[in-house]
Structure 1
Amino acid sequence: MERFDVAAVELLPGERVRVRVLSHQPWGVGVEIVGHEGVGASIDMIQCFGGERMRREGAQLTPPVGAEIDAVVVEVSRWDPPVWVRLSIHPDDLESFRWRCDFCAEWTTLSPGGDGVVLDVRSNDGPGSHSIIAHRACLVDSLHPTSLERRRAARVGRG
Protein backbone atom coordinates (compact mmCIF):
# COMPACT_ATOMS: atom_id res chain seq x y z
CA MET A 1 0.00 0.00 0.00
CA GLU A 2 1.26 3.48 -0.81
CA ARG A 3 0.93 5.98 2.01
CA PHE A 4 0.44 9.65 1.14
CA ASP A 5 1.22 10.69 4.71
CA VAL A 6 4.91 9.72 4.71
CA ALA A 7 5.80 12.91 2.85
CA ALA A 8 5.74 14.90 6.10
CA VAL A 9 6.50 12.22 8.68
CA GLU A 10 9.77 13.97 9.60
CA LEU A 11 8.00 17.23 10.47
CA LEU A 12 6.94 17.57 14.10
CA PRO A 13 4.96 20.23 15.94
CA GLY A 14 7.41 22.55 17.67
CA GLU A 15 10.14 21.98 15.07
CA ARG A 16 11.76 25.09 13.65
CA VAL A 17 11.99 25.10 9.83
CA ARG A 18 13.07 27.42 7.04
CA VAL A 19 10.34 28.44 4.58
CA ARG A 20 10.11 30.32 1.31
CA VAL A 21 7.08 32.59 0.82
CA LEU A 22 5.22 31.69 -2.39
CA SER A 23 2.03 33.77 -2.26
CA HIS A 24 -0.08 36.19 -0.28
CA GLN A 25 -3.64 35.21 0.62
CA PRO A 26 -6.36 37.17 2.46
CA TRP A 27 -5.72 35.06 5.61
CA GLY A 28 -1.93 34.74 5.39
CA VAL A 29 0.80 33.35 3.16
CA GLY A 30 1.40 30.20 1.16
CA VAL A 31 4.90 28.83 1.70
CA GLU A 32 7.13 25.89 0.91
CA ILE A 33 9.31 24.28 3.53
CA VAL A 34 12.93 24.19 2.40
CA GLY A 35 13.89 20.52 2.11
CA HIS A 36 10.22 19.43 2.00
CA GLU A 37 9.13 21.17 -1.19
CA GLY A 38 6.50 18.52 -2.00
CA VAL A 39 4.54 19.20 1.18
CA GLY A 40 1.87 21.92 1.22
CA ALA A 41 2.30 24.56 3.90
CA SER A 42 0.89 27.89 4.99
CA ILE A 43 1.06 30.52 7.70
CA ASP A 44 -2.28 31.85 8.95
CA MET A 45 -1.22 35.40 9.75
CA ILE A 46 -4.57 36.21 11.38
CA GLN A 47 -4.16 33.29 13.76
CA CYS A 48 -0.53 34.25 14.47
CA PHE A 49 -1.11 37.94 15.18
CA GLY A 50 -4.88 38.42 15.53
CA GLY A 51 -7.32 40.04 13.14
CA GLU A 52 -7.15 43.54 14.63
CA ARG A 53 -3.35 43.66 14.56
CA MET A 54 -3.33 42.34 10.98
CA ARG A 55 -5.75 45.12 9.96
CA ARG A 56 -3.42 47.71 11.51
CA GLU A 57 0.03 46.27 10.71
CA GLY A 58 -0.58 43.59 8.09
CA ALA A 59 1.83 44.98 5.51
CA GLN A 60 4.66 45.21 8.06
CA LEU A 61 4.00 41.75 9.52
CA THR A 62 3.55 39.86 6.23
CA PRO A 63 6.83 38.67 4.68
CA PRO A 64 7.27 39.46 0.97
CA VAL A 65 6.89 36.82 -1.74
CA GLY A 66 10.27 35.16 -2.31
CA ALA A 67 11.55 35.81 1.22
CA GLU A 68 13.11 32.95 3.19
CA ILE A 69 12.19 33.06 6.87
CA ASP A 70 12.15 30.88 9.98
CA ALA A 71 8.88 29.34 11.09
CA VAL A 72 7.74 26.74 13.60
CA VAL A 73 5.54 23.74 12.79
CA VAL A 74 2.17 24.08 14.54
CA GLU A 75 0.31 21.11 13.06
CA VAL A 76 0.82 18.48 10.37
CA SER A 77 -2.49 17.36 8.86
CA ARG A 78 -2.13 13.83 7.50
CA TRP A 79 -5.73 12.58 7.75
CA ASP A 80 -6.46 12.83 4.03
CA PRO A 81 -4.39 13.84 1.02
CA PRO A 82 -2.79 16.20 0.53
CA VAL A 83 -0.58 16.49 3.58
CA TRP A 84 -0.72 20.06 4.89
CA VAL A 85 1.50 21.84 7.42
CA ARG A 86 0.33 24.84 9.44
CA LEU A 87 3.17 27.09 10.56
CA SER A 88 3.66 30.09 12.82
CA ILE A 89 6.06 33.00 12.63
CA HIS A 90 4.92 34.63 15.86
CA PRO A 91 8.08 35.60 17.80
CA ASP A 92 6.86 33.85 20.98
CA ASP A 93 6.30 30.60 19.05
CA LEU A 94 9.72 30.82 17.43
CA GLU A 95 11.33 31.28 20.84
CA SER A 96 9.42 28.51 22.63
CA PHE A 97 6.46 26.73 21.04
CA ARG A 98 3.69 25.63 23.40
CA TRP A 99 0.57 23.53 22.79
CA ARG A 100 -1.98 21.90 25.06
CA CYS A 101 -1.30 18.34 26.21
CA ASP A 102 -3.91 15.91 24.85
CA PHE A 103 -3.87 14.04 28.17
CA CYS A 104 -4.25 16.81 30.79
CA ALA A 105 -5.06 19.88 28.61
CA GLU A 106 -2.34 21.98 30.30
CA TRP A 107 0.29 23.78 28.20
CA THR A 108 3.42 21.83 27.27
CA THR A 109 6.55 23.12 25.54
CA LEU A 110 7.47 21.32 22.30
CA SER A 111 10.58 23.33 21.48
CA PRO A 112 13.96 21.68 22.12
CA GLY A 113 14.51 21.23 25.84
CA GLY A 114 10.77 21.37 26.56
CA ASP A 115 8.63 18.95 28.53
CA GLY A 116 6.46 17.86 25.58
CA VAL A 117 6.58 14.91 23.19
CA VAL A 118 4.77 14.15 19.95
CA LEU A 119 3.19 10.73 19.42
CA ASP A 120 2.54 9.56 15.87
CA VAL A 121 -0.68 7.56 15.55
CA ARG A 122 -0.90 5.28 12.51
CA SER A 123 -2.71 2.11 11.53
CA ASN A 124 -1.81 -0.88 9.39
CA ASP A 125 -5.31 -0.64 7.92
CA GLY A 126 -4.43 2.22 5.59
CA PRO A 127 -2.97 5.65 5.12
CA GLY A 128 -3.69 8.62 7.29
CA SER A 129 -2.01 9.44 10.54
CA HIS A 130 -2.21 11.95 13.34
CA SER A 131 -0.02 13.52 16.00
CA ILE A 132 -0.89 13.56 19.68
CA ILE A 133 0.82 16.10 21.92
CA ALA A 134 1.66 15.18 25.52
CA HIS A 135 3.74 16.14 28.49
CA ARG A 136 6.43 13.51 28.78
CA ALA A 137 5.20 12.87 32.34
CA CYS A 138 1.57 12.45 31.22
CA LEU A 139 2.63 9.87 28.66
CA VAL A 140 4.79 7.97 31.15
CA ASP A 141 2.04 8.06 33.79
CA SER A 142 -0.54 6.70 31.34
CA LEU A 143 1.54 3.60 30.56
CA HIS A 144 1.14 0.46 32.64
CA PRO A 145 3.43 0.50 35.71
CA THR A 146 5.30 -2.65 34.60
CA SER A 147 5.77 -1.55 30.98
CA LEU A 148 9.36 -1.12 29.82
CA GLU A 149 8.04 1.69 27.62
CA ARG A 150 7.74 3.97 30.67
CA ARG A 151 11.54 4.13 30.95
CA ARG A 152 12.01 4.48 27.19
CA ALA A 153 9.40 7.23 26.84
CA ALA A 154 11.06 9.17 29.65
CA ARG A 155 14.38 9.11 27.75
CA VAL A 156 13.26 9.82 24.14
CA GLY A 157 15.12 12.84 22.80
CA ARG A 158 17.42 13.14 25.77
CA GLY A 159 21.11 12.40 25.42
Structure 2
Amino acid sequence: MERFETESLALLPGQRVRARVVSHHPWGVAVEIEGHENAGLVASVDMFEHFSRTTSSYDELLALFPPVGEWIDAVIERISRLNPPVSVRLSIRPADLQALVRTCDFCGDPITLSPGGDALFLESRSHDGPGSSTVVSHRHCLAERIRPGNGGERARALRIGRTD
Protein backbone atom coordinates (compact mmCIF):
# COMPACT_ATOMS: atom_id res chain seq x y z
CA MET A 1 0.00 0.00 0.00
CA GLU A 2 1.30 3.43 -0.89
CA ARG A 3 0.56 6.27 1.51
CA PHE A 4 0.17 9.73 -0.01
CA GLU A 5 0.12 11.65 3.26
CA THR A 6 3.48 10.68 4.80
CA GLU A 7 5.34 13.97 4.22
CA SER A 8 2.43 16.00 5.54
CA LEU A 9 2.59 14.29 8.94
CA ALA A 10 5.25 16.87 9.92
CA LEU A 11 2.51 19.52 9.79
CA LEU A 12 0.17 20.07 12.74
CA PRO A 13 -2.78 22.39 13.35
CA GLY A 14 -1.61 25.46 15.27
CA GLN A 15 1.88 25.32 13.75
CA ARG A 16 3.24 28.58 12.33
CA VAL A 17 4.56 28.42 8.78
CA ARG A 18 5.77 30.69 6.02
CA ALA A 19 3.97 30.44 2.71
CA ARG A 20 4.28 32.03 -0.70
CA VAL A 21 1.12 33.20 -2.45
CA VAL A 22 0.89 31.49 -5.87
CA SER A 23 -2.55 32.58 -7.11
CA HIS A 24 -5.72 34.50 -6.30
CA HIS A 25 -9.23 33.03 -6.37
CA PRO A 26 -12.66 34.56 -5.60
CA TRP A 27 -12.58 32.92 -2.12
CA GLY A 28 -8.93 33.53 -1.23
CA VAL A 29 -5.37 32.60 -2.14
CA ALA A 30 -3.53 29.41 -3.01
CA VAL A 31 -0.11 29.13 -1.38
CA GLU A 32 2.97 26.92 -1.17
CA ILE A 33 4.24 26.15 2.32
CA GLU A 34 7.97 26.76 2.71
CA GLY A 35 9.82 23.44 2.90
CA HIS A 36 6.83 21.51 1.55
CA GLU A 37 6.71 22.82 -2.02
CA ASN A 38 7.11 19.33 -3.52
CA ALA A 39 5.15 17.37 -0.90
CA GLY A 40 2.09 16.88 -3.12
CA LEU A 41 -0.21 18.95 -0.95
CA VAL A 42 -2.50 21.87 -1.71
CA ALA A 43 -2.60 24.81 0.66
CA SER A 44 -4.78 27.89 0.83
CA VAL A 45 -6.03 30.80 2.89
CA ASP A 46 -9.81 31.25 2.72
CA MET A 47 -9.89 35.03 2.82
CA PHE A 48 -13.66 35.10 2.35
CA GLU A 49 -14.28 32.89 5.40
CA HIS A 50 -11.79 34.77 7.56
CA PHE A 51 -12.50 38.39 6.68
CA SER A 52 -15.89 38.76 4.95
CA ARG A 53 -17.68 39.54 8.24
CA THR A 54 -15.25 42.36 9.06
CA THR A 55 -15.26 44.06 5.65
CA SER A 56 -18.08 46.13 4.19
CA SER A 57 -17.64 45.22 0.51
CA TYR A 58 -16.01 42.63 -1.73
CA ASP A 59 -13.57 45.30 -2.96
CA GLU A 60 -12.50 45.94 0.64
CA LEU A 61 -12.05 42.19 1.08
CA LEU A 62 -9.99 41.93 -2.12
CA ALA A 63 -7.70 44.69 -0.83
CA LEU A 64 -6.72 42.33 2.02
CA PHE A 65 -5.47 39.61 -0.37
CA PRO A 66 -1.66 39.38 -0.19
CA PRO A 67 -0.04 39.87 -3.62
CA VAL A 68 0.99 36.88 -5.73
CA GLY A 69 4.62 36.04 -4.99
CA GLU A 70 4.57 37.53 -1.48
CA TRP A 71 5.75 35.47 1.50
CA ILE A 72 3.30 35.50 4.39
CA ASP A 73 3.31 34.28 7.98
CA ALA A 74 0.43 31.90 8.63
CA VAL A 75 -0.78 29.24 11.04
CA ILE A 76 -2.11 25.83 10.04
CA GLU A 77 -5.83 25.85 10.76
CA ARG A 78 -6.65 22.31 9.62
CA ILE A 79 -5.29 19.49 7.51
CA SER A 80 -7.31 16.96 5.54
CA ARG A 81 -5.47 13.73 4.81
CA LEU A 82 -8.51 11.61 3.99
CA ASN A 83 -8.01 11.60 0.21
CA PRO A 84 -5.20 12.80 -2.04
CA PRO A 85 -4.00 15.41 -2.33
CA VAL A 86 -3.48 16.45 1.29
CA SER A 87 -5.28 19.76 1.80
CA VAL A 88 -3.97 22.37 4.25
CA ARG A 89 -6.05 25.37 5.30
CA LEU A 90 -4.04 28.27 6.70
CA SER A 91 -5.09 31.35 8.64
CA ILE A 92 -3.48 34.77 8.60
CA ARG A 93 -5.89 36.30 11.12
CA PRO A 94 -3.82 38.19 13.72
CA ALA A 95 -5.57 36.46 16.66
CA ASP A 96 -4.90 33.01 15.15
CA LEU A 97 -1.23 33.89 14.62
CA GLN A 98 -0.99 34.64 18.34
CA ALA A 99 -2.83 31.51 19.50
CA LEU A 100 -5.05 29.28 17.38
CA VAL A 101 -8.06 28.25 19.48
CA ARG A 102 -10.62 25.67 18.37
CA THR A 103 -12.80 23.11 20.19
CA CYS A 104 -11.82 19.74 21.66
CA ASP A 105 -13.29 16.87 19.63
CA PHE A 106 -14.20 15.06 22.86
CA CYS A 107 -15.71 17.68 25.18
CA GLY A 108 -16.38 20.62 22.83
CA ASP A 109 -14.64 23.15 25.09
CA PRO A 110 -12.09 25.63 23.69
CA ILE A 111 -8.53 24.38 23.29
CA THR A 112 -5.35 26.18 22.22
CA LEU A 113 -3.72 24.35 19.31
CA SER A 114 -0.63 26.58 19.15
CA PRO A 115 2.64 25.58 20.83
CA GLY A 116 2.28 25.94 24.59
CA GLY A 117 -1.41 25.04 24.42
CA ASP A 118 -3.02 21.93 25.85
CA ALA A 119 -3.89 20.19 22.57
CA LEU A 120 -2.95 16.68 21.54
CA PHE A 121 -3.38 15.56 17.93
CA LEU A 122 -4.38 11.96 17.32
CA GLU A 123 -3.91 10.59 13.81
CA SER A 124 -6.27 7.75 13.07
CA ARG A 125 -5.10 5.49 10.24
CA SER A 126 -5.92 2.03 8.96
CA HIS A 127 -3.86 -0.87 7.62
CA ASP A 128 -6.44 -1.22 4.86
CA GLY A 129 -5.50 1.85 2.87
CA PRO A 130 -4.12 5.35 2.78
CA GLY A 131 -5.70 8.38 4.36
CA SER A 132 -5.97 9.54 7.91
CA SER A 133 -7.99 11.78 10.15
CA THR A 134 -6.87 14.13 12.92
CA VAL A 135 -8.69 14.27 16.25
CA VAL A 136 -7.91 17.24 18.51
CA SER A 137 -8.11 16.66 22.24
CA HIS A 138 -7.32 18.17 25.63
CA ARG A 139 -4.72 16.05 27.42
CA HIS A 140 -7.16 15.27 30.22
CA CYS A 141 -9.97 14.38 27.79
CA LEU A 142 -7.79 11.75 26.14
CA ALA A 143 -6.42 10.46 29.44
CA GLU A 144 -9.95 10.07 30.84
CA ARG A 145 -10.95 7.94 27.85
CA ILE A 146 -8.05 5.49 28.16
CA ARG A 147 -9.17 2.52 30.23
CA PRO A 148 -8.06 2.74 33.87
CA GLY A 149 -6.03 -0.48 33.66
CA ASN A 150 -3.72 1.11 31.10
CA GLY A 151 -2.12 3.60 33.47
CA GLY A 152 1.04 3.90 31.39
CA GLU A 153 -0.80 5.28 28.38
CA ARG A 154 -2.90 7.54 30.61
CA ALA A 155 0.28 8.97 32.14
CA ARG A 156 1.90 9.39 28.70
CA ALA A 157 -1.16 11.26 27.40
CA LEU A 158 -0.68 13.79 30.20
CA ARG A 159 3.08 14.16 29.51
CA ILE A 160 3.45 14.09 25.69
CA GLY A 161 5.42 17.13 24.55
CA ARG A 162 5.83 18.52 28.07
CA THR A 163 9.26 19.54 29.28
CA ASP A 164 8.25 20.73 32.76
Q: TM-score range by the shorter chain?
A: over 0.9
CA drift of 1:7 comes to 2.7
Query: Using the alignment, how far apart are the partners of 1:107 and 1:151 within structure 2?
Result: 22
Work out whether 1:83 is the aligned partner of 2:86: yes
CA-CA distance at 1:61 after TM superposition: 1.6
- List, as ranges, runs of 4+ consecutive aligned residues in structure 1 with deviation greater than 6 Å: none
TM-score (norm 2): 0.92
1:134 correspondence with 2:137 = yes
**Separation in structure 1 between the aligned mates of residue 140 and residue 64 of structure 2, nearest angstrom:** 37
The answer to whether residue 146 in structure 2 is matched with residue 143 in structure 1 is: yes
Within 2, Cα distance between the matches of 1:76 and 1:52?
25
- Counterpart amino acid of residue 10 in structure 1: A
Q: Distance in 1 between matches of 2:123 and 2:161?
A: 15
Separation (CA, whole Å) in 2 of partners of 1:59 and 1:27: 9
What's the CA shift for 1:59?
Answer: 3.6
Alpha-carbon distance in structure 2 between the residues aligned to 1:52 and 1:74: 19
Q: Number of paired residues?
A: 159
Aligned mates of 2:62, 2:45 — CA distance in 1 = 15
| Unmatched tracts of structure 2, length 5 or more | none
Q: 1:52 Cα shift?
A: 5.6
Identity over aligned pairs, percent: 53
Residue by residue, what CA displacement relative to the aligned partner does 1:44-85 show, whole Å, maximum 9, x if unpaired?
A: 001111256162532432111011111111111111111110
The answer to whether 1:65 aligns with 2:50 is no
User: Which has the larger displacement, 52-61 or 148-157?
Assistant: 52-61
1:28 matched to 2:28: yes
Indicate the residue corresponding to 2:51 in structure 1.
Answer: 49
State the 1:143 CA deviation. 0.9
Which residue identity lines up with residue 32 of structure 2 in the other structure? E
Q: Does 2:116 correspond to 1:113?
A: yes
Q: CA RMSD in A?
A: 1.3
Amino acid at match of 1:150: R
